[in-house]
Amino acid sequence: MLNWISQVWRTSVIGSFLAGLLFLLPIVLTVFIVAWIINFVRGAIGPGTVLGDLFTRGGNYLIGGSQDTLAFWLGIGIALIGIWLLGLIVKTRAKSIIQNYLDSLFSRVPLIRSIYSPVSRVVRLATDRTGAPGDLSSMSVVSCRFFGDGAQGVDILALLASQQLFTIAGERRRLVYLPAAPIPMSGGLVFMSDSAITPVPDMKVDDLLKIYVSLGALAPEVLYQSSDPRRAVAALPGPGTPPPAPITKPEHV
């Protein structure tokens, strides 16, 4: 059966067509993804939407109400320039002032507050690099041991979410965030036993995120040979490498 499929793949018209289709598949998928992103952005801020109407009104304020298309793109240009100017401002010490003002403003509205508060915390958690409380850079990389000690155990690289020690059911626990690949922010929080956590002080948070985002492909660049068996990296044999010689027990004389 496999020989027949292989022969059809090499000689038939269908096989040639499938070979060409598979060759173009990365390009086709890329085009589909780009088109999906464009349609999503168009549906969110395009003409006829709430943001689109705001951009159009801003452009009409400058050129009049006879050219809605031109007014729309002019409004987008004004918005982009405004965002760029805001970026220059928030790079200074005015960032905390503006941020505190916006937090105070949106916290006064009950419905908006329930949405704005968690969203702002998540965004600042993922983007801030100031070492402030709640910042990702204030977390530390740890290795969590699951399923027992010794060779049968499993080690998972994670982030120590808090330095605080919790006591649950009489046991010492720490709050640990377990990232997920390839989207680290889609992981979960667990209370790990204090004895099952090993600090990894030589690894930065950014390095840990690189490993998860790359599905482990960048692990050799981040990890290194170490005397600690929980952090040691052994090179896998490449293609054509002869298998290691079997280990034999010494004979007793």
Domain end point (choices 103, 127, 151):
127
- Of 5 and 189, the one with more pLDDT: 189
66 and 37 housed in the same domain: no
Whether the predicted pLDDT of 23 surpasses 70: yes
Whether the predicted pLDDT of 1 surpasses 80: no
Question: CA dihedral defined by 225, 229, 233, 234, rounded to 10 degrees?
Answer: 110
- Of 167 and 91, the one with more pLDDT: 167
Q: What is the mean pLDDT of residues 138-148?
A: 84
- Of 218 and 6, the one with more pLDDT: 218
End-to-end CA distance of the chain: 56
Residue 126 backbone dihedrals phi, psi, to 5 degrees: -85, -20
Exposed/middle/buried for residue 236 (C-beta within 10 Å: 0-12, 13-18, 19+)? exposed
Q: What is the pLDDT of residue 225?
A: 42
- Is 207 within a domain? yes
* pLDDT grade for 222, boundaries at 50, 70 and 90: confident
- Total tally of structural domains belonging to the chain: 4
64 and 99 housed in the same domain: no
d(CA 56, CA 81): 16
- Mean pLDDT, all residues of the chain: 77
* pLDDT grade for 142, boundaries at 50, 70 and 90: very high
- pLDDT, tens digit, 9 for 90 and up, residues 199-217: 988 888 888 888 888 888 8
Q: Mean pLDDT lowest for which of 82-86, 127-131, 177-181, 207-211?
A: 127-131
Q: What is the pLDDT of residue 191?
A: 92
- Is 246 within a domain? no
Residue that the structure tokens 């918005």 belong to: 79
- Of 81 and 90, the one with more pLDDT: 81
- Of 188 and 149, the one with more pLDDT: 188
Domain end point (choices 11, 29, 45):
45
Q: Which helix (H) or strand (E) holds 177?
A: strand 171-178
Q: What is the mean pLDDT of residues 100-104?
A: 85
- Is 176 within a domain? yes
- Parent domain of 144: 139-222
